[in-house]
Structure 1
Amino acid sequence: MSSDLSSDPMHACKPTHTWEPEYDDLWPNPEREWLLRAAFSEGEQSGIALNRWRELAGYVQYDQIDYLSCRILPLVYKRLQQSNLDDPWMPKLRALHRYHWAKVKTKQQCLVKVIDCFDSAGIPTLVLKGHALLASGYYADAGERPLNDLDVMIRPQDVAAASDLLSELKWTQVGTGPHAEFHAYEWQDENGIKLDLHRKLLPPPYHAIDLDHLLSTSQSVPFFGRSIRIPDPTHLLMHCLVHGRMHWGEIPKPFLWVADTLQILAKSGDEIDWARLVADAKRFAIVFDIRESLGYIKSHFGAFVPDTCLDELNAISLTRSDLVPFFRWTTNHEKHSILELKDLLRADFHCHQQLNDKPANLRNYLPYLARRTQRLITTEAGGRRWYFLKQKAKNEGIAATVFRPDYAHVTKRSRREFT
């Protein structure tokens, strides 16, 4: 084991705030950090951390718990059970764990049918996110890691064939707009189980990391009597650090990614290719995402992250365009200024052209810009953006609505220590 979380049970209950991220609009708040420590501490320290979380969060009754915290509680339950600790909430935590176990098992069986169908048709696949973590043994059982949907990655050129196969299996494509156009098509079966059919690893405006880049290092793991392919530990870690912390819909500051990252580092720390992680961070312009997430994990939870890796990431200079994807996927990402919105549209366009293997020139950009402008004018999401801009003008002035904020403190920062 590379992480010292297990060997030093007290460490997970002692935050080491010697490093602070440049931008804190996505990290777990203090009480949620205590919940995470309850999941990763040993013995009595797990119970101490759980009580501290309840105290800080103000939870008196189990029914008061928020949705995001409920996604960590099955792991807390298993930790309390392993440590022979009792708690007034144990019966309900046991029921929550059993509920997720049953739901996940159903989704896993559904995933097998999809993968079998694609394999029979010669369509290469890669299973992503929670199902990949469960299949590779990062969690002890299916109840520890709640899952929302299935995530399967294919090549862009296989989308038409895969869509026909899903239709034959009685799946229905749902959802339209930029998410489907740039990232993943969403499908739903007759029982309401959802599948994200990915063509790239990260949503726009991140660079197009496609299946071929991941397959060369991917691993085959046993799954329900067959085998599936999942990203190797380095790419699993990379995906967690970037994708896991993104703000989706009405759920701000998700933090299940912290648990996923700690599990990967604890069980596969020796298998992480840190040099390749840095190289990929540079290649795909995710340096800021990787270094901030790793710095947080190392400083707040004592996870093993080589100082040389963080030093290399710190030494890489950034431009404003490197930060566009990061700020697009934070809690207040819809409150962009007009020039920031222009940056986003340009980055989205380059992502779209990469995905479809087409040149990113002015001739192609103009019709794309016309389509996106129409969406901004006619869709509900576009209406929210204009509303936020109007509110920004009212509260902060016209200049704040038009011009980009100053990111100099991010792009020209001094080296910091992570010990």
Structure 2
Amino acid sequence: MPRVNSNVWQPEYDDLWPKPEDEWLLRAALSSEPDFAEHFLTWRNEASYANYDEIDYTTCRILPMVLKQFVRAGRDDQWLPKMKALHRYHWVTTKSKQRHLVTLIDAFDHAGIPTLVLKGNALIAGEYFDDAGERPLHDLDVLIRPEDEPVAAECLRSMNWTDLGDGPHAEFHARVWQAEDGVQLDLHRKLLPPPYSYIGLNALLPSSRKAVLSGMEVRVPNATHLLMHCLVHGRLCWGSVKHPFLWVADAMRILQRSPDEIDWERLKSDAQRFSILFDVRESLGYLRSRFDAPIPSDWLNELSDIPISRKEMLPFFRWTNGHEIHSLLELKDFMYADFLCHQQMQNQTPTTPRFIRYACQRFHRLATSDAGRRRLGFLGTKLRYEGLLASIRRPDYFQTAIDS
């Protein structure tokens, strides 16, 4: 990564970052200067949005921040009435989801389950946004200990929540639950999806802080860990649901409103310990260059001198731009990283026989589900291993291996 004090910082992989026209919208939402309105107009021209009705889903989640800029400055714009209606809509839906969340947290507390509120609700509770309408929510996110999941599941079922599962990764990332009115909860067993390293509740809870959400006291990550989560998890692309620049707004709000609360040395040590230094370094370098984020330049330059292995970079590319697996070696690396996560959660020592058994079980689950067969079909096209793919799609082959 180039030194951040260079005149122009150019990321090595342009397709991983917000487009130039999206940056104008972000500047309109985040700028503390009076030229935010000019940034907003430039964005509309660059993105060719002549009418409000043409905007996409991601933009709808940023516009409430732009609205706040106009209101604070006492400025007017032809989009203002519709942005106010959008803000009101987000406020109502977010408040409705928060009522579900506080009910769940209260039930978990009575069941003796410690929790940590993540992502959007953590940002709102931490007062990084002015109100519930300024930071729309997609779903609810709560982190618990893996051993507490059976009790948590009973609590959810008693309140008529439905377990939607989460495919092959459900057992060690998050399970999706849905309320009767359609609100969804991601019940996390770890902070990040595979093949990222295991980061559990016990690693974050001791340094977490109390906050108030919809009148109830909850625990949220401290500013350092909240920023770390935004820089990594916030950038992930889940299938067709891609929010290529929402993470910028979240991370910048943390940096703008609590710069003195960021423990930079703790962030560096945790990023190294959890093997996410590449994600943190690249994302912060981008924010420092494009949005003049209050990040110490010397600290960023220290990160650029730390060697990072190719294996540590793989999760970043897998989740941020739909990186395709081009070799069996990469497939093995991804699978082994998943296996290490699983062993950490089970408090077991990784061994070769356990890895072989785990790999067989994973392939069996993939081969017996529709989503898994689609993934394997895509992978088979890329690898050109027709014979291997044929054996993968025979569930009896893997069941025999597992039974033996």
Do Structure 1 and Structure 2 share a fold, with TM-score over 0.5?
yes
Deviation string 1:120-169 (CA, Å, 9 cap, x unpaired) is 11111100000000001000010000101111111111111111111111
2:87 partner amino acid: H
Deviation string 1:62-116 (CA, Å, 9 cap, x unpaired) is 1111111111011111111111221111111111100000000011111110011
Equivalent of residue 139 in structure 2, options 136, 139, 149: 149
User: Secondary structure of the residue that 2:219 maps to in structure 1?
Assistant: strand
The answer to whether 1:237 aligns with 2:223 is no
Residue number in structure 1 paired with 2:401: none
Residue 285 (structure 1) shift: 0.4
Residue number in structure 1 paired with 2:188: 198
Whether the 8 Å contact between 1:291 and 1:310 is mirrored in structure 2 is yes
Residue 380 (structure 1) shift: 4.1
Deviation string 1:186-230 (CA, Å, 9 cap, x unpaired) is 111111111111111111111111111101110011223331000
**Greater RCO, CA 8 A, separation 6+:** 1
1:149 partner amino acid: D
The answer to whether 1:29 aligns with 2:52 is no
Q: In the aligned structure 2, how far is the partner of 1:387 from the partner of 1:156? A: 32
Q: In the aligned structure 2, how far is the partner of 1:185 from the partner of 1:387? A: 25
The answer to whether 1:178 aligns with 2:168 is yes
Residue 335 (structure 1) shift: 4.9
Whether the 8 Å contact between 2:230 and 2:250 is mirrored in structure 1 is yes
User: Secondary structure of the residue that 1:329 maps to in structure 2?
Assistant: helix
Whether the 8 Å contact between 1:138 and 1:263 is mirrored in structure 2 is yes
Residue number in structure 1 paired with 2:391: none
Deviation string 1:370-406 (CA, Å, 9 cap, x unpaired) is 1222344444444444454465469xx99xxxxxxxx
Residue number in structure 1 paired with 2:331: 341
Superposition pairs for residues 380-391 of structure 1, below 5 Å? 380-389=370-379
Q: In the aligned structure 1, how far is the partner of 2:32 from the partner of 2:126? A: 23
Q: Structure 1 residues 166 and 386 mapped into 2: Cα distance closer, same or farther (>3 Å)?
A: closer
Residue 40 (structure 1) shift: 1.4
Residue number in structure 2 paired with 1:277: 267
Q: In the aligned structure 2, how far is the partner of 1:32 from the partner of 1:98? A: 23
1:261 partner amino acid: A
Q: Which stretches in structure 1 are left out of the alignment for 5+ residues?
A: 1-15, 399-419
Equivalent of residue 209 in structure 1, options 172, 177, 199: 199
The answer to whether 1:265 aligns with 2:277 is no
Structure 1 or 2: more helix by fraction = 2
Whether the 8 Å contact between 1:334 and 1:384 is mirrored in structure 2 is no
Residue number in structure 2 paired with 1:252: 242
2:270 partner amino acid: D
Q: In the aligned structure 2, how far is the partner of 1:199 from the partner of 1:93? A: 37
User: Secondary structure of the residue that 1:99 maps to in structure 2?
Assistant: helix
The answer to whether 1:126 aligns with 2:113 is no
Q: In the aligned structure 2, how far is the partner of 1:385 from the partner of 1:191? A: 31
Residue number in structure 1 paired with 2:42: 52
Residue number in structure 1 paired with 2:389: none
Whether the 8 Å contact between 2:163 and 2:177 is mirrored in structure 1 is yes
User: Secondary structure of the residue that 2:217 maps to in structure 1?
Assistant: strand
1:52 partner amino acid: T
Q: Under a length normalisation based on structure 1, what TM-score does the superposition of the two structures give? A: 0.87
* RMSD value, Cα: 2.0
Q: In the aligned structure 2, how far is the partner of 1:208 from the partner of 1:380? A: 27
Q: In the aligned structure 2, how far is the partner of 1:305 from the partner of 1:111? A: 33
The answer to whether 1:227 aligns with 2:217 is yes
User: Secondary structure of the residue that 1:327 maps to in structure 2?
Assistant: helix
Residue number in structure 2 paired with 1:93: 83
Q: Structure 1 residues 336 and 247 mapped into 2: Cα distance closer, same or farther (>3 Å)?
A: farther
Q: Under a length normalisation based on structure 2, what TM-score does the superposition of the two structures give? A: 0.90
Whether the 8 Å contact between 1:298 and 1:304 is mirrored in structure 2 is yes
The percentage of counterpart residues that share the same residue type is: 55
Q: Structure 1 residues 93 and 294 mapped into 2: Cα distance closer, same or farther (>3 Å)?
A: same
Q: In the aligned structure 2, how far is the partner of 1:80 from the partner of 1:269? A: 24
Q: In the aligned structure 2, how far is the partner of 1:389 from the partner of 1:168? A: 40
Equivalent of residue 282 in structure 2, options 275, 287, 292: 292
Residue number in structure 2 paired with 1:115: 105
Residue number in structure 2 paired with 1:3: none
Deviation string 1:26-48 (CA, Å, 9 cap, x unpaired) is 21100110000010124641111
Q: Structure 1 residues 391 and 161 mapped into 2: Cα distance closer, same or farther (>3 Å)?
A: closer
The answer to whether 1:75 aligns with 2:65 is yes
